[in-house]
Each structure stands twice: as C-alpha cells, then as structure tokens.
Amino acid sequence: MTVFPRQYRERDPGGRPRVAVVIPKYGLIGGGERFAAELTERLARKGKYEFHVFANRWSSRCEEIVFHKIPAIRFPRFLRPIGFAWFADRMAAEGKFDLVHSHERIYRADVFSLHSVPHAGWVRAVRRKRPSLFDLATVSVEKRMMESGARYFLPVSTLAMEAFAREYRIDPSRFRVMHPGVDAGMFSPADRSSCRLEVRARHGIGPSETIVLFVGMNFEVKGLDGIMASVARAREMPGGRNLLLLVVGKGDTRKYERIAHGMGIGDAVVFAGPQAQGVERYYLASDIFMMLSKFDTFGMAVLEAMAAGLPVVISGGVGAKDLVENGRNGFVVGDPGDTDSAAGRIGLLLDEDFRLRMGREALQTARENRWDKLAETVEGIYDEMLA
C-alpha cells in the first residue's frame, strides 16, 4: 500500500483551494514542460490557490509549490503511459484536491491542457508507421481522458483543437484555446546592438549580412531542408547575395551540411548547435525567423522570435499561425513544401524598412501574449469551476 506524506494529505491552514498539476517532466526542456512551469509558478506566487505538482522529474525554485514524485515504469515501454496515468489518478484522488489540471494524458482531471494532437492521428499522418504497443497504450489512455467528463480542454492552438474535434465527439464549448505565453523582457530590443556584434563575431558573420534564423530540436519535422531551399532561391533575387541562414538547435548536422552544399549554399549556412543558455541573443542578432514544420502543435520559438522583433515566415502546419497576420507581422505559407512561395516572402523582407515595420508589429503581438496574461485567464477558469 502506498503511503503519502502528511503535507500531501493535510489542507493548508489558510483553507485555500488545492490544485493538483500533473505532468511527467516539469520545468525541463520541452514546450509542454516549459508551459506547465511558467503557468503554474505564476499562479502559485499569486497565493490564491495551493499548488501541488505530480511528476517523474522536475526542476524548480518556486517555494510556493509542493512536489510529489510519480513512480516511472521504464520497461516494458508500452506500460509507461498506462503506469503514469494510473499512479497520477490514484495519488490525486488520495490528496482530495479541489481541482486537477493535467498537462499529460491521464484518466481523470477537471482541466486538460492539450499540448499535442490525437496520438492515433500523429502516427497516421506524421510517422506513417504501423502503431506499436506503446502507441496503442497511449491511444487507450487518451481515449479515457477525452471521455472522462473533464470540464475544459485547453488546446494550445486552433490547429490542435480542430485535430481533437475531428478525432473525438466533444462539445465545442468545452474547448478553450490557450496559446503559450512569452517573457517579452528576455528579448528586449534594447539589447539588439550588442547581441548582433557578439553573436555575429562568434560565428564569423559580417554586420551587413541579413540573417534568417531557424531554432529547433528536430531538423526534419521542423522543415530545415525546405528553409534551406527557400534561402537558396532567395539568394538569387535582387539584394539576396548577403542572405545567410543561422541554424540553432540539435539535429543531424552533417546530413544538413551535405544538403546545403548540394544546394550551393554551403558557405551561407551556419550551424550554431543547441544553446541552452542565451538563445535570446541569437534572436536579437537576426533579421528574419523561419519555421516550415510539417506539423507543430504550436511552436514556441515563433512567439519568442516575435518578442525579439523579428517578422516570421512559417508554414500552415505550425499552430502559432493563429498569431500571424499575413503582411503585418509575418507570413504563413500554406504548404511547407512550397519553397518558391517561402522564398518570395523572404524576398519581400529583404527591404529593410518593410522588415523593420513588420518586426515592430511582431513585437506588439508578443506583448499581447505574455505569460502573466495567460495566468490571469487560467485563474479565471479555476474561479469559474470552483465558484
């Protein structure tokens, strides 16, 4: 029999409502992990609710949160999603919480943040492989999640919401799109001049070159090959010879170096590797941001680029397209494989005045999507549910 700590079972002396937040990895690398941490810690510091986080692993300095370890089943792999859901369900029930907010597929919760799309659809459309036992187990947990009677589902984009609405018969009123936020202060344009000098000098990039920036940890899914092809075409346009692609992130660098050389732009592509610290300086050192993902539930790098004042060129497969207005703060290219259209958008942005004007609009969009604003909205949902 599992015995839980007294601090877990006993209520706060102040009688605050108790909220359980569930996620396998809290505050670690990953969009969903960052989302959960940014949101939960802002809510916890406001002091209105007592927060408990249930996770396998976590990284946090927030003293207002109580953390509880959910046991992790490593082998066999297909038991991981089932085991996590079972333990989370049991531990949350034991704690007698007023509200359970899950950022992962579990059996029951009051609120589910949807950071992905239906797993079966992902296997069919993106992986295009026969489902494994792990896939089948994940789908079974997800199905119970969607049929659990949760009050609200909070997809991070319209793209994610529509995917779940196609897969499951859910009352549309139970969906509320909640885009990730951004800490606009981290990307202050006041730092742009020093960042441009420092980052460009580090990688041997001249001050007059126009940098197209890519940030991502999966080169293939996020369409790096298409971005390279677009840059190669744009370099042939008037004023395009100073165009350069800066790649930040982890992937098969050698493979993409060969692709760049095959396109004749080997000298115009710089691989900076992953940047765990100081990635904001790369945004500020650049001029244009691109992400031509085949599929991306949101793409937090898009919003970060906008916070740095960069116009963005993204594909229709990126959920962050919800925030992009064509010709105002960026461009959405419907088909990630349409590199001619993407190159044409880069060509328009070679006009510095136009590019800077769009960058200012992008910055304004980012300021309207702060983490603090998201926290206020989610707190309103909690208040509504517990009224």
| Helix, strand, coil percent content, the chain, rounded in steps of 5 | 45, 15, 35
The pLDDT score that the predictor gives to residue 295 is: 86
CA distance 139 to 133: 10
The pLDDT score that the predictor gives to residue 24 is: 96
Residue 10 binned pLDDT confidence (cut-offs 50, 70, 90): low
User: What does the mean pLDDT of the chain come to?
Assistant: 92
Residue 372 binned pLDDT confidence (cut-offs 50, 70, 90): very high
Cβ contact 58:130 at 8 Å: no
Write the pLDDT tens digit of every residue in 280-319. Answer: 999 999 999 999 998 899 999 999 999 999 999 999 999 9
Structure tokens at 225: 């090959």
The pLDDT score that the predictor gives to residue 332 is: 97
Residue 3 binned pLDDT confidence (cut-offs 50, 70, 90): very low
Write the pLDDT tens digit of every residue in 115-169. Answer: 999 999 888 877 778 899 999 999 999 999 999 889 999 999 999 999 999 999 9
Which has the minimum average pLDDT: 8-12, 178-182, 266-270, 352-356? 8-12
In eight-state DSSP terms, residue 224 is H
Contacts of 18 (CB under 8 A, 6+ apart): 11, 12, 49, 50, 52, 95, 96, 97, 98, 99
- Mean pLDDT of the region 344-369: 96
Phi, psi at residue 81, to the nearest 5°?
A: -65, -35
The pLDDT score that the predictor gives to residue 26 is: 96
- Mean pLDDT of the region 75-96: 94
Which has the minimum average pLDDT: 1-5, 137-141, 355-359? 1-5
The structural domains of the chain, ordered by start, are 6-181+371-386 (3.40.50.2000), 184-367 (3.40.50.2000)
Residue 11 binned pLDDT confidence (cut-offs 50, 70, 90): low
The pLDDT score that the predictor gives to residue 187 is: 86
Which among 300, 110, 309, 277 is positioned nearest to 222, based on CA atoms?
A: 300
Cβ contact 341:292 at 8 Å: no
CA distance 111 to 317: 26
Cβ contact 332:314 at 8 Å: yes
Percent of the chain topping pLDDT 70? 96
Cβ contact 279:265 at 8 Å: no
The pLDDT score that the predictor gives to residue 4 is: 47
Kindly tell me if the per-residue pLDDT of 6 is higher than 50. Answer: no
What pTM was computed for the model?
Answer: 0.91
Which has the minimum average pLDDT: 4-18, 44-58, 231-245, 259-273? 4-18
Which among 294, 296, 295, 297 is positioned nearest to 177, based on CA atoms?
A: 297
Which has the minimum average pLDDT: 60-69, 76-85, 181-190, 327-336? 181-190
Write the pLDDT tens digit of every residue in 46-85. Answer: 999 999 999 999 999 999 999 999 999 989 999 999 999 9
- Mean pLDDT of the region 182-200: 87
Q: Which residue has the higher pLDDT, 186 or 10?
A: 186
The pLDDT score that the predictor gives to residue 8 is: 53
The pLDDT score that the predictor gives to residue 2 is: 39
Write the pLDDT tens digit of every residue in 202-227. Answer: 999 999 999 999 999 889 989 999 99
